[in-house]
Structure 1
Amino acid sequence: MTDASTIDVAVIGAGPAGLMAAEVAAQGGARVTVFDGMSSAARKFLLAGRGGLNLTHSEPLADVLARYGAAQQRLRPAIEAFPPDALRAWAEELGQPTFVGSSGRVFPVAMKASPLLRAWLRRLDAQGVQLKLRHRWTGWDDHGRLLFDTFDGPRAIAARATVLALGGASWPKLGSDGGFVDLLAAKGIAIAPLKPANCGFTVDWSELFAEKYQGTPLKNIALSFGGRVIRGEAIVTKTGLEGGAVYALSAGLRDAILADGEATLMIALRPDLSADELALRLAKPKGKQSLSTFLRKAAGLPPAGIGVLQEAAHRQGLSLASLPPAECAALINAVPVRLTGVAPIARAISTAGGVAFAELDDTSMLRKLPGVFAAGEMLDWEAPTGGYLLTACFATGAAAGRGALACLGRKSTD
């Protein structure tokens, strides 16, 4: 089925980047339709908000930009045009005030994504933005029209400008499955391979340890790799490790594993105690206590921490019970954990890789596809958790919306 009319702007993907592109384009007077393959909008955004939506971060803008590593210069114009403070003001306008947490992260007072999304969709509807769900984009026809698979069969839709905001490849059941890669590669668009980001890793735990401690957090620890030290928490899984502190180091760990097949993560179980202080505690008489009880009382180690320590000692052929206090103290704050693989991209929080920035002009338009713009996680950047992922998605979405307006000869009002 072919739609007879031509719409001004077609936005493909109803996540934060796509909806922001739609809002900017609609505010500039464009007739906008947002298409999404799922049965409801912003499914991954809603998932991210279940534990308290981390919308952005309050640190200075220069520090925010530094979080994007090699991509920071390419993301700078978009984020400077729609910085964290503007994002907070935008949420406030939707009746969702924000606050800064103790870590500097910014959250809606409601601590959920759903109230913000409902208010946003109401405003988009009032601006004339149409939302077409269950429309899975499958490419272009020979006339340059957008092709969709829908519940009622295939559709071909003509648009003067198109914004692609298709996400990455993590949590594909929520809509972002990386299907754009083959469609754009067929048009000659350079795309960096999609890889898991903010992800967990596999460890060859003993069966006994994995069964006993899976799902147990390791709190108040310090992880180190590649010269970086991250304080925080990790979670033992049946097959490895995940959690905030692990995610913060995941880019370097992932790249090392992809290059060398493994990486060694160092864990300090009692980072607030010096080696000398730990050694003094461990030099006390053990008496009739079991080793686990002694380590729990003398070194303050939780059961899961003792288990990790025993796993490392066993792999090195060491007996914890016979280690001198100084050597045991050193091991407690430098436990080597051999990571053997990267958790699947489908379980990652976000995605690295995507459309190369060299393929975009300064308006976010794909040079090889005039009138087609790209935004959000489908671009080749990655960032740690802490609000940086959503910050860049909103900002690049706004930039693509401005680009679409420029393509139509209109000016944005933001």
Structure 2
Amino acid sequence: MSEAVEALVIGAGPAGLMAAEALMAPGRRVVVAEAMPTPARKFLMAGKSGLNLTKDEPFEAFAQRFSLGTGALPRTPGYLGNREAAFGPAEVMAWARGLGIKLFTGSTGRVFPVGMKASPLLRAWLARLRAGGVELRTRWRWTGERFRFETPEGPREIRPGVTVLALGGASWPRLGSDAAWVPWLEGAGVGVAPFRPANMGFRVAWSTQMSRHFGAAVKGTALRAGDLTSRGEWIIGRHGIEGGGVYEISAPLRDGAAGHVDLAPDLDRSALAGRFARPKGKLSLGNWLRRVLDDPVKVALLLEWGRPLPMDAAGWAALAKALPLRHQGPMGIATAISSAGGVTWDSLTGAQELQAIPGVFVAGEMLDWEAPTGGYLLTACLGSGLHAGRAAAARLAAMSAG
């Protein structure tokens, strides 16, 4: 069976739903096809621990936290580069409030719904889309052919005027972002940079002495890799390290930069050396270090990653200020918060339209960009979806006028 619609959106995550919102208009048929039984599964999972919508900071500073991947054109995407057309922190907050969601800003500038959950926002959003005439079809899996789907009712084909692809990247495939679209687009001549994990933990082959600290939060440190520094907390896990503090430096660490831990970031080296100059006496090494650092987890890391151990106070201070972060590489992409890689920017027009397939636009984590956690990821997915949806709507208007 085949049917004609004005606009088709494939993928019902934040980018796809925002594209649908930009496309909906009185009398216009907009269909959103989603392979999973329910929409926005990754969005809902992210909201289980508190939905971080955006980061309340000046747009210019916000945009600096994004990096474009290989094959990037010497320009910034429209949803980040053109302030007047951008969908940044202020716009995200206004949009959420327009859905009736009350927000608050935490001490670090991160913005959350007062209720912390994603489900009330998603329900209000879907209700607005339905009221605007958008039709959501779940369990509609795109086969890669243009545009055929496997559905509970059997094979179906849609003939759209314009299409927005918002199929996600490659992290958390069980929630729908399985990157199955890659060979289909590559076969059509679209450049796709290989996917890599982003905002992920790192594998560590711990000694048996570290098992007592599994699950412990590491606080009051500074992690450094490349040009990035993080003061966030992180977790010692059975298989490695993860958490917000690690995610913030994960990109350069993944790409080969050396990582270091400052166990006393609020003390300079000479002040710390003064502490290490205290006589050890008859104390064991571990007990002496605990008196100096006042934190058994920091002591464990110092002994785990610091060998060969120093012989004097100055050496101990130098080691504690730049403890090598020893790891065996990033954890797998299937459990990473997000992914780097995707459709290259030189495969797109400035409107996020595929040069190889006119009338088809791309949004969200399908695009080759990355950013840290903390509201940046979700804001960019919303913004890129809006940008693609507006461009697709403009194409429809031009088709009608012509």
TM-score by length of 1: 0.90
1:73 to 73, 76, 83: 76
User: Please, which runs of 5 or more residues in structure 2 have no aligned partner?
Assistant: none
Residues 78 and 399 of structure 1 are in contact (CA less than 8 Å); yes or no, is this contact kept in structure 2? no
What is the CA distance between 1:78 and its match in structure 2? Answer: 6.7
1:125 to 130, 134, 139: 130
The answer as to whether partners of 2:222 and 2:261 remain within 8 angstroms in 1 is yes
Residue in structure 1 matched with residue 104 of structure 2 by the alignment? 99
Query: Which residue in the other structure is 2:193 paired with?
Result: 192
**Does the 8 Å CA contact 1:30/1:405 hold for their aligned counterparts?**
no
| Structure 1 match to 2:342 | 354
Determine whether 1:295 maps to 2:289: yes
Distance 1:407 1:326, change over 3 A: same
Letter in 1 for 2:277: A
Query: Aligned AA for 2:258?
Result: T
Shift of 1:266: 0.7
Runs of 4+ with >4 A deviation: 77-80
Conserved 8 A contact 1:35-1:133: yes
| Inter-partner Cα distance in structure 1 for 2:242 and 2:27 | 45
What is the CA–CA distance in structure 2 between the aligned matches of 1:299 and 1:361, rounded to whole Å?
54
Q: Select which of 277, 281, 296 maps to 2:275.
A: 281
Partner residue of 2:391?
403
1:85 aligns with 2:90: yes
Counterpart amino acid of residue 333 in structure 2? I
> 2: CA distance between counterparts of 1:386 and 1:22?
25
RMSD: 1.9
- Matches of 2:141 and 2:83, distance apart in 1: 29
Cα drift, residue 87 of structure 1? 1.5
Deviation track 1:322-368 (CA, whole Å, cap 9, x = no partner) reads x3222222212211122221110111111111001111123221111
Give SS of 1:305's match.
helix
1:393 aligns with 2:381: yes
Alignment of 1:196-345 (within 5 A): 196-209=197-210, 211-256=211-256, 264-300=258-294, 302-314=295-307, 316=308, 318=309, 323-345=311-333
Structure 2 CA distance for aligned equivalents of residues 79 and 398 of structure 1? 14
Distance in 1, matches of 2:17 and 2:27, equals: 15
Q: Aligned pair count?
A: 392
Q: Is the 8 A contact 2:343 2:367 kept in 1?
A: yes
Corresponding residue number in structure 2 for 1:259: none
What is residue 366 of structure 1 aligned with on the other side? 354
**Structure 1 residues 342 and 113: CA distance shift in structure 2, 3 A:** same
Residue-by-residue CA offset, 1:132-187 (whole Å, 9 max, x unaligned): 111111112xxx4x111223332222211111001101011111011111110110
Cα separation, 2, equivalents of 1:98 and 1:131: 27
Retained in 2: the 8 A contact 1:79–1:396? Answer: no
**Paired residue secondary structure (1:310):** helix
Residues 83 and 274 of structure 1: CA distance in aligned 2, closer, same or farther (over 3 Å):
closer
C-alpha displacement at 1:200, in angstroms?
A: 1.2
Tell me the distance in 1 between the aligned counterparts of 2:187 and 2:164: 18
The answer on whether the counterparts of 2:306 and 2:324 sit within 8 Å (CA) in structure 1 is: no
Deviation at 1:124, TM superposition (A): 0.8
Percent of aligned positions that are identical: 51
CA contact (8 A) 1:202 1:239 kept: yes
Instruction: Give 3-state SS (helix, strand or coil) of 2:115's partner.
Output: coil
What secondary structure sits across from 1:48 in the alignment? helix
CA contact (8 A) 2:221 2:261 kept: yes
> Do the aligned residues in 1 keep the contact of 2:26 with 2:133 (CA within 8 Å)?
no
Distance of aligned partners of 1:289 and 1:80 in 2 relative to their CA distance in 1, 3 Å threshold: farther
Q: 8 Å contact 2:226–2:258 — kept in the other structure?
A: no
Q: Deviations over 1:1-32 (max 9, x none)?
A: x13x3011111110000000001101475311
Aligned amino acid, residue 73 of structure 1: T
Taking structure 2 as the reference length, what is the TM-score of the superposition?
A: 0.92
The amino acid that maps onto 1:308 is L
Which residue identity does 1:386 align to in structure 2?
Answer: G
Q: Give the 3-state SS of the residue equivalent to 1:405 in structure 2.
A: helix
> What displacement does 1:264 show?
3.2
The letter of the residue matching 1:354 is: G
Counterpart Cα distance in 2 of 1:208 and 1:126: 59
Do the aligned partners of 1:52 and 1:112 also contact (CA within 8 Å) in 2? yes
Contact 1:215 1:236 in 2 (8 A): yes
Question: By how many angstroms is 1:410 displaced?
Answer: 6.3
Match of 2:115 in 1: 110
> What is the rounded CA distance, in whole Å, between the counterparts of 2:4 and 2:323 in structure 1?
62
Structure 1 segments unaligned to the other structure (5+ residues): 257-262
Letter in 2 for 1:371: G
Q: Distance in 2 between matches of 1:346 and 1:47?
A: 14
Alignment partner, residue 32 of structure 1: 30
Shift of 1:227: 3.8
Could you tell me which amino acid in structure 2 is paired with residue 45 of structure 1?
A: F
CA deviation after TM superposition for structure 1 residue 245, in Å: 1.8
Q: Distance in 2 between matches of 1:119 and 1:109?
A: 15
CA contact (8 A) 1:79 1:391 kept: no
Taking the aligned partners of 1:271 and 1:179, their CA distance within structure 2 comes to 44
C-alpha distance after superposition, 1:235-263 (max 9, x if no partner): 1122222121211111111111xxxxxx5
Distance 1:46 1:410, change over 3 A: farther
**1:80: how far off?**
4.5
Counterparts of 1:177 and 1:383 in 2: how far apart (Å)? 20
More off after superposition, 244-253 vs 39-48: 244-253
Distance 2:60 2:167 in 1: 28
Cα distance, 1:197 vs. partner?
0.8
- Asked whether the 8 Å contact 1:354–1:379 carries over to 2, the reply is yes
**1:260 corresponds to which residue?**
none
**Deviation at 1:115?**
0.6
Distance 1:78 1:212 in 2: 51
